[in-house]
Structure 1
Amino acid sequence: MPKISAPTIAAHRAQTRERILEAVAELTRTEGIDDISMTEVAARAGITRTALYNYFPDKAALLLAFADEATAGFMERYRAELHGVPEPTDRLSAFVRLQLEAIAEHPHPPAAELGASLGPDAYQRLADHVEPMQRLLEEVLRHGTEEGAFTAQPVAATARLVLAMIGAQRVPILRGEASVEEAHALVTSFTLRALGAAAPHADRTNGANETNGASGDRP
């Protein structure tokens, strides 16, 4: 029986589950989700494969739990970074950047490819993890329109288009053909032009500072 370091069995199980999901996160940075085996996850988490199956009965359940945690982490990071940011263009820019950073940090095939190997039920549940992100993006777009920064567009359809553009950067980023910064600039500038908006406020401020700095002694 494995040694229990936590004060209770429930706490021990929670700690072990956290180690398992951390192991998945570490492995995705080098292998990609589709290539990870249950044996590798168990070894990285410091438990036996049999013990791993006590927490997750199969790979689909493991990946769905990882997707749950990744989605929750994204929402928390976005809310934390955007707390008190007044400019709609900055909020949109941050959303795009965080999504692209997640792609670079945890490389994996699109949900459709994972679904093909995991089965239709798992695919549908993986696809459901896009919904919270879409609702958050819809909120950003809706508020930007209400504040006059964006021209009126069908919010849900526009959010799907933006997410599709972000997803289209997956292969270039993972192949090293584009950096996160380059992909961010491309998606953000394209989206803002489509919304009839100016560049993010931070970019305009930086540009003005660079211009002023380059002006030397000119009045």
Structure 2
Amino acid sequence: MPKLIGDSLATHREQVRERVFAALRAQLYERGFEAVTLSGVAAAAGVGRSAMYNHFPDRQALLVAFVEAEAARYVADLDAALAGVSSPAERLAVFARMQLRRLAEFHLPPGQALAGALDPQAYRRIAAHADPIGDRLAAILHDGAADGSMVAEGPDVLAALVSAALTSRRIVDVAPSELDATVETAVRAVLRMVSTPSRD
């Protein structure tokens, strides 16, 4: 019987998942999903292959579980960051900044490429995790329209434009020394995109 990590089976399973996810995160960053194998992740995580297959029967199951865990953590972090911010413009700046930072750190193929790498059911499960994030953006834009600080026409179109801007890898694929300035430039551009014209 394999040695337990932690003081219970539940703790063991959770710690194995965390080690596997950490190894997968590193491999996604270094090589991309196409180069990831279960055996490679297991070796990097220090987990036996049989234990790995008990948790994740295939690459797709591993990726879906990883994205679910990352998305839940990210939405919790996003909600915490937005909770102390009052104005819609400031909330949108926080949202945009976090989205771009996440994009810089999270290395998955873009939507269409990912759709081709996964079966339809697995892709739908991963895509569903964008819904709570989109809901936060829609709420910010709605509040901005309500107080007159943001344009009210076509909120769905506006949300789609902002989302598209914040998922462009070209923004964050820069040298690490340039990332802070690039992110702030993009945040200012997003704010200008949605702000109502000045009445000065």
Structure-2 residue corresponding to 1:206: none
Gaps of at least 5 residues in structure 2 are none
* Partner Cα separation in structure 1 for residue 54 and residue 6 of structure 2: 18
Count, aligned residues: 197
Alpha-carbon offset, residue 186 of structure 1: 4.1
Q: Secondary structure at the match of 1:85?
A: coil
Structure-1 residue corresponding to 2:19: 19
Structure-1 residue corresponding to 2:142: 142
Report the CA distance shift for 1:151/1:113 in structure 2 as closer, same or farther (over 3 A). Answer: same
Alpha-carbon offset, residue 177 of structure 1: 10
Gaps of at least 5 residues in structure 1 are 199-219
Report the CA distance shift for 1:178/1:132 in structure 2 as closer, same or farther (over 3 A). Answer: farther
- TM-superposition CA deviations, 1:89-129 (whole Å, max 9, x none): 11111111111111111222112212202222222222222
| C-alpha contact 1:134 1:160 (8 A) present in aligned 2 | no
* Aligned-partner residue type, residue 148 of structure 1: G
Report the CA distance shift for 1:197/1:28 in structure 2 as closer, same or farther (over 3 A). Answer: farther
Alpha-carbon offset, residue 5 of structure 1: 3.4
Structure-2 residue corresponding to 1:124: 124
Report the CA distance shift for 1:136/1:172 in structure 2 as closer, same or farther (over 3 A). Answer: closer
| C-alpha contact 2:33 2:109 (8 A) present in aligned 1 | yes
Report the CA distance shift for 1:142/1:34 in structure 2 as closer, same or farther (over 3 A). Answer: farther
Alpha-carbon offset, residue 184 of structure 1: 2.7
* Partner Cα separation in structure 2 for residue 186 and residue 128 of structure 1: 29
* Aligned-partner residue type, residue 158 of structure 1: L
* Partner Cα separation in structure 2 for residue 174 and residue 40 of structure 1: 26
Report the CA distance shift for 1:173/1:194 in structure 2 as closer, same or farther (over 3 A). Answer: closer
Q: Secondary structure at the match of 1:7?
A: coil
* Partner Cα separation in structure 2 for residue 178 and residue 72 of structure 1: 29
Bigger drift between 34-43 and 129-138 goes to 34-43
Structure-2 residue corresponding to 1:192: 191
Q: 5 Å matches for 1:2-151?
A: 2-151=2-151
Name which one, 1 or 2, has greater alpha-carbon Rg.
1
Q: Secondary structure at the match of 2:190?
A: helix
Provide the identity percentage. Answer: 34
* Partner Cα separation in structure 2 for residue 104 and residue 120 of structure 1: 26
* Partner Cα separation in structure 2 for residue 85 and residue 172 of structure 1: 25
* Partner Cα separation in structure 1 for residue 176 and residue 79 of structure 2: 30
TM-score (structure 2 length as normaliser): 0.87
* Aligned-partner residue type, residue 113 of structure 1: A
* Partner Cα separation in structure 1 for residue 188 and residue 116 of structure 2: 33
Q: Secondary structure at the match of 1:114?
A: helix
Bigger drift between 3-12 and 94-103 goes to 3-12
